[in-house]
């Protein structure tokens, strides 16, 4: 079994914000794999389907970003999904808009959603697809920046990054994550 988690905040207010880029990737994967996100349980919305003989789960935690681990851990426990079979998709301030970076493990880098996952999963050894949102201009608070929308001149690059993240997830279903990293980094 594989679990693909996209981090974000629930509700229309946050829909097109930088912090919700993980949700956007999950929405695209839902269309690509024809996996409806209709089940609400474990403080999240999810769906699953068997792809190439393996069950694939898509999850959007509805706990708000800072409590994401409260949704991911129960899904993993209930379905007995190994940490080796989890990938988390989220926004990253240290990567320029339109770029993605894949990692097999790591710290939180100041990201509160990842802090929550580290606390609830008890390990930093989970796969990540980080999507660049860039840093705010001087004087703009980080919270306001990540909860704001993309500028018009960033939108095409961001859509490309979402497409690349979807392709990376597709590749991971049939290839080792290290090979996927080598392809997409």
Q: Which helix (H) or strand (E) holds 173?
A: none
Q: Could you tell me the two tokens for 12?
A: 């229309």
For 74, 106, 116, 129, 161, the CA distances from 70, given in Å and listed in that order, are 7, 19, 8, 20, 27
The burial of 81, by beta-carbon neighbours within 10 Å (0-12 exposed, 13-18 middle, 19 or more buried), is given as: middle
Contact by Cβ (8 Å): 13, 20: no
pLDDT digits (tens, 9 = 90+) for 80-132: 999 999 999 999 999 999 899 999 999 998 899 999 999 999 999 999 999 99
Active site (annotated) includes residue 108: no
Which range of residues forms the domain containing residue 117? Answer: 2-184
Q: Cβ of 183: how many Cβ atoms within 10 Å?
A: 13
- Distance from the Cα of residue 66 to its chain's centroid: 13
Q: What pLDDT does residue 108 have? A: 92
145 among annotated binding-site residues: no
Q: What pLDDT does residue 110 have? A: 85
Number of domains in the chain: 1
Q: What pLDDT does residue 115 have? A: 96
- The pTM of this model reads 0.95
The burial of 123, by beta-carbon neighbours within 10 Å (0-12 exposed, 13-18 middle, 19 or more buried), is given as: exposed
Say yes or no to pLDDT of 139 above 90: no
Q: Which helix (H) or strand (E) holds 100?
A: strand 100-103
Q: What pLDDT does residue 27 have? A: 97
Mean per-residue pLDDT over the chain, rounded:
95
Spot the catalytic one: 19, 108, 111, 120.
19
Say yes or no to pLDDT of 52 above 90: no
Q: What pLDDT does residue 138 have? A: 85
Contact by Cβ (8 Å): 57, 6: no
Confidence of residue 137 (pLDDT cuts 50, 70, 90): confident
Lowest-confidence region among 34-43, 84-93, 133-142: 133-142
Write the CATH number for 22.
Answer: 3.40.50.1470
- Residues paired with residue 149 on neighbouring β-strands, in sequence order: 17
Question: What sign results for the dihedral spanned by CA atoms 137, 139, 143, 149?
Answer: negative
144 among annotated binding-site residues: no
185 among annotated binding-site residues: no
Q: Cβ of 76: how many Cβ atoms within 10 Å?
A: 23
């Amino acid at each position: 079994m594989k679990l693909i988690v996209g981090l974000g905040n629930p509700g229309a207010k946050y829909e097109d914000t930088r912090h919700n880029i993980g949700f956007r990737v999950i929405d695209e994967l839902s269309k690509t794999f024809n996996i409806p996100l209709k089940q609400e349980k474990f403080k999240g919305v999810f769906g699953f389907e068997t792809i190439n003989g393996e069950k694939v789960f898509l999850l959007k935690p509805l706990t708000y970003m800072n409590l994401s681990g409260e949704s991911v851990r129960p899904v993993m426990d209930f379905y007995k999904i190994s940490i080796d079979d989890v990938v988390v998709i989220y926004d990253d301030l240290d990567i320029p808009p339109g770029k993605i970076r894949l990692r097999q493990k790591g710290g939180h880098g100041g990201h509160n959603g990842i802090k929550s996952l580290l606390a609830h999963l008890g390990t930093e050894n989970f796969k990540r697809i980080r999507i660049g949102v860039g840093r705010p201009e001087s004087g703009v608070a980080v919270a306001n920046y990540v909860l704001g929308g993309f500028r018009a001149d960033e939108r095409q690059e961001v859509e490309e990054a979402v497409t690349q993240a979807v392709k990376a997830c597709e590749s991971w279903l049939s290839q080792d994550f290290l090979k996927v990293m080598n392809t997409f980094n």
